[in-house]
Amino acid sequence: MENLKAVILAAGEGKRMKSNIPKVLHKVMGRPMVMRVIDAARKAGAESIAVVAGHGSEQVIEAVSGEEPDVKFYLQESRQGTGHAVKQAVDFIGDKNDVFILYGDTPLIKAETLADLYDFHKKEGNGASIISAHVENSAGYGRIIRDRNGNFVKNVEDKDAVGDERNVNEINTGVYCFNGKRLKEALSLIKNDNAQKEYYLPDTLAVILEKGYGVNAMETDDVSEFMGVNSRVQLSEVEAALKNRINVFHMENGVTITDPSQTYIGDFVKIGRDTIIHPGTILEGSTEIGENCEIGPYSRLTNMVVGNGTSVQFSTALDSYVGNGTKVGPYAYIRPNSKIGDNIKVGDFVEVKNSVIGDGTKISHLTYVGDSDVGKNINFGCGTVTVNYDGKKKFRTVIEDNVFIGCNANLVAPVTLKEGSYVAAGSTVTKDVPEGSLAVARSRQQNIEGWTKK
Ligand code: UD1
Ligand code: CA
């Protein structure tokens, strides 16, 4: 590929969004729309990318360049049409390369489709290639006019269409691949003598054809990929479509999703075979889940790595690792930097933070384990608290293998419970507990007889 480029139009105001945020920065499945278009263009081979911004350009530039520092920006100060918008980036386009022209508000566009368009463009040796779609209702779209032999002639906008043109149901999806030089020549020739007094980008197609270069449309029947967002309702529609696309991908890979409409899986999430995802589950970031797991209902996992055969229900887990055959929840909270091993129970109302938990350990209920190094086969009684913070500094609690902690114990860090030691219920442990011994750190019970009679 010879230095393929992409120009993304994002100057539209997005009035119907009724938002202080520029339209293209609204998120679809957690990622700003314009970033999704940039991702697709990059994946399809575009080496350099420009965004034409207008409304809210400072915000657009800040958000995009934060993630994609190489993207170039051009300003369209007044909205005079798609052709005018592309003209603003004329210095970027180049002569020897091809260039995609895309919209920043069509986040469902696939990289494979763009790659197909590029192949089509190259194979036919066109000056310009577009994607057209056959639709039932062509209202609002540019119509593709062909001659009696089926050759491309021109695009006619909805508002300019007359007579038979109105009934044409092959439409312009708004996705283009141009030879850079041909595009630049044509942009300098198009006029705005039309119904909307705008410079139409699709008018360049007829110009390129007249100059003797090939122009053709790659046809499709599926418009869903080219759906644009102009309102919050359409935003929810593309969100649903993308959510479904990702869910279908996982189901085709052997994952059971019991209610796809209530399951949100991020783009980069990986899930192993025969894992079951229950409703209300959100899997985000770089989360990776193994085989034969049961995740959900109602759980949120962000940047988690989970082994095989593990279950997580009604819980939140962030930036941590959970091993194999472990049970998490209901109502557990795993906070960042935790490493929870195999065959462990992290039960109801248990919070784990920045801790290592060894295999076979049971933390069944109502317990806080923070900044702790916990060994294997430990039993935490209900209501254990690692007291890790003195108001200024955090300290670590070390619990060696086979320790048994009775209910309602406070372990005041820094403190170590040595191998096989016991802690009596209700103890507040402030000193290390030697191997194999029992720590009792509570006042003795006194019974005052006859108390009620007095
Ligand atoms: C455009 C096409 C139409 C096609 C349709 C597909 C033109 C003249 N018409 O129509 O053939 O069927 O897309 O969706 O191109 N934009 C700017 N600056 C402008 C005008 C538009 O940045 O001055 C951006 C918008 O933000 C939007 C995109 O270009 O992302 C398309 O503009 P829009 O007005 O929605 O074009 P349509 O009327 O839908
Ligand atoms: Ca549109």
The tens place of each residue's pLDDT in the chain, 454 residues long, gives: 458 999 999 998 899 999 999 999 999 999 999 999 999 999 999 999 999 999 899 999 999 999 999 999 999 999 999 999 999 999 999 999 999 999 999 999 999 999 999 999 999 999 999 999 999 999 999 999 999 999 999 999 999 999 999 999 999 999 999 999 999 999 999 999 999 999 999 999 999 999 999 999 999 988 999 999 999 999 999 999 999 999 999 999 999 999 999 999 999 999 999 999 999 999 999 999 999 999 999 999 999 999 999 999 999 999 999 999 999 999 999 999 999 999 999 999 999 999 999 999 999 999 999 999 999 999 999 999 999 998 999 999 999 999 999 999 999 999 999 999 999 999 999 999 999 999 999 999 999 999 999 8
Spatial separation of the C-alpha atoms in residues 187 and 178, rounded to whole Å: 12
Atom of ligand 1 lying closest to residue 174 CA: 6
Q: How far from the centroid of its chain's Cα atoms is residue 192's Cα?
A: 39
C-alpha distance from residue 181 to each of 47, 61, 103 (Å): 17, 27, 21
- Beta-strand (E) ranges in 164-315? 170-179, 215-220, 256-257, 263-265, 270-271, 276-277, 281-284, 288-289, 294-295, 299-302, 305-306, 311-312
Structure tokens at 362: 């049971």
Structure tokens at 200: 């139409």
For residue 228, how far is its CA from the centre of ligand 2 (angstroms)?
A: 6
- What is the pairing mode between strands 316-318 and 333-334? parallel
**Residues at CB less than 6 angstroms from ligand 1:** 9, 11-12, 52, 54, 76, 79-82, 84-85, 103-105, 141-142, 155, 157, 171-174, 200-202, 228
pLDDT of residue 1: 44
250 tagged catalytic: no
Phi, psi (degrees; rounded to nearest 5) at 396: -100, 145
Phi, psi (degrees; rounded to nearest 5) at 238: -70, -35
Q: Which residues pair with 365 in a beta bridge?
A: 348
Phi, psi (degrees; rounded to nearest 5) at 446: -120, 135
Compute the C-alpha angle 419/422/423, nearest 5°: 130
pLDDT of residue 327: 98
Structure tokens at 114: 């763009």
Spatial CA neighbour of 66 closest among 25, 108, 23: 25
pLDDT of residue 12: 87
For residue 141, how far is its CA from the centre of ligand 2 (angstroms)?
A: 8
Place of tokens 């055969």: 309
Side-chain-facing half-sphere of 192: CA atoms under 13 Å: 11
For residue 245, how far is its CA from the centre of ligand 1 (angstroms)?
A: 25
Q: How far from the centroid of its chain's Cα atoms is residue 391's Cα?
A: 37
Name the DSSP letter for residue 54.
Answer: B
Compute the C-alpha angle 235/244/286, nearest 5°: 90
Spatial separation of the C-alpha atoms in residues 306 and 296, rounded to whole Å: 13
pLDDT of residue 13: 82
Q: Are 54 and 76 in contact (CB under 8 A)?
A: yes
Nearest ligand to the C-alpha atom of residue 14: 1
Q: Are 114 and 100 in contact (CB under 8 A)?
A: yes
Place of tokens 């048994």: 404
Spatial separation of the C-alpha atoms in residues 280 and 257, rounded to whole Å: 11
Which protein residue has the closest C-alpha to ligand 1 atom 3?
Answer: 142
CB atoms under 10 Å from CB of 215, counted, come to 26
> Which amino acid belongs to residue 451?
W
Structure tokens at 50: 């420009």
Which protein residue has the closest C-alpha to ligand 1 atom 7?
Answer: 200
Most informative mutation of 82, 106, 168, 207 for ligand 1 (most atoms within 8 A of CB): 82
Atom of ligand 1 lying closest to residue 196 CA: 8
Q: Which H helix or E strand runs over 249?
A: helix 232-252
Cβ neighbourhood burial of 116 (10 Å; 0-12, 13-18, 19+): middle
Phi, psi (degrees; rounded to nearest 5) at 151: -80, 145
pLDDT of residue 2: 59
> Which amino acid belongs to residue 136?
E
For residue 336, how far is its CA from the centre of ligand 1 (angstroms)?
A: 44
For residue 134, how far is its CA from the centre of ligand 2 (angstroms)?
A: 17
> Which amino acid belongs to residue 438?
L
> Per the residue annotation, which of 84, 250, 278, 365 is the catalytic one?
365
Atom of ligand 1 lying closest to residue 106 CA: 30
Nearest ligand to the C-alpha atom of residue 173: 1
Spatial separation of the C-alpha atoms in residues 377 and 437, rounded to whole Å: 17
Spatial CA neighbour of 2 closest among 182, 122, 124: 122
pLDDT of residue 3: 86
Helix (H, G, I), strand (E, B) or coil at 14: coil
Atom of ligand 1 lying closest to residue 11 CA: 22
Spatial CA neighbour of 381 closest among 369, 389, 372: 369
Q: Which residues pair with 179 in a beta bridge?
A: 98
Structure tokens at 366: 């109502």
For residue 28, how far is its CA from the centre of ligand 2 (angstroms)?
A: 17
Phi, psi (degrees; rounded to nearest 5) at 153: -115, -55
Spatial CA neighbour of 442 closest among 428, 423, 432: 428
Atom of ligand 1 lying closest to residue 141 CA: 12
Most informative mutation of 33, 52, 103, 168 for ligand 1 (most atoms within 8 A of CB): 103
Nearest ligand to the C-alpha atom of residue 234: 2
Q: Which residues pair with 73 in a beta bridge?
A: 51
For residue 47, how far is its CA from the centre of ligand 2 (angstroms)?
A: 26
Which protein residue has the closest C-alpha to ligand 1 atom 1?
Answer: 174
CB atoms under 10 Å from CB of 327, counted, come to 20
